[in-house]
Amino acid sequence: MPNTRRFRAATDLYLKTVTTAHRKLLDISGGRAGTRFKKMPTLALTTTGRRTGMPRIVILTVPVVEGDDSYLIVASRGGDDISPDWFHNLCADPAVEVSFQHGPKQPMTARVLPPQERDRRWPEVVAAYPGYQTYQKRTTRQIPLVLLSPRR
C-alpha cells in the first residue's frame, strides 16, 4: 500500500504541475500557444471543489467536439485506478464553466455518459487519440466519458 500512496502522490504532483504550467502558457501567450495537445483541442474546465466549495481549474484535451458548443472529455487520469478529482467534483455538482481553446468562459452542464452510451462513443475517443485505449488497458475501472453542454 505505501508504494501505491507514493505513486498517487507523485501522479498528483505531476498532474498539478502540468496543469499549472499549461495554464500559464495559455495566459502568457494570450491563447496563441497551448490550445492544442496531442493533436486535440484543449479546454479549461472549472469545477466546484466538493469539499472546499472553491473553484478548481484543470486543462483537459477534447477528443470530440460536437457542433460549436459541446465537448466530450475523458476522465482517464492516465489510466490510474482512480478517477481524477475534477470528475468527482462534477459528479457532486454538474454546473461547470468551460473555456474552449482559451476563449471566454461559458456556463455548462456536465453529464457522465451511462455505460451503453459510453461504449458506443468510446471508438470516437480512441480514433482521436489512440493513447486512451492504452489508458483503459492499464486499469480495471471503466474510464468515464463526460459530455459538456451549454447550461439551459
Amino acid letter, 19: T
CA distances (Å), 130 to each of 138, 139, 148, in order? 13, 16, 21
Report the pLDDT averaged over residues 13-22: 59
- Range list of β-strands (E), 20-114: 36-37, 40-48, 55-61, 64-66, 70-74, 95-100, 106-112
Which of 1-10, 52-61, 112-121 is the most confident on average? Answer: 112-121
For the cut 50, the answer to whether the pLDDT of residue 2 exceeds it is: no
Cα separation, 97 vs 150, whole angstroms: 9
- Please state, in angstroms and rounded to a whole number, the distance separating the CA atoms of residues 35 and 27: 11
pLDDT tens per residue, range 116-134: 999 999 999 999 999 999 9
DSSP H/E element including 124: helix 115-128
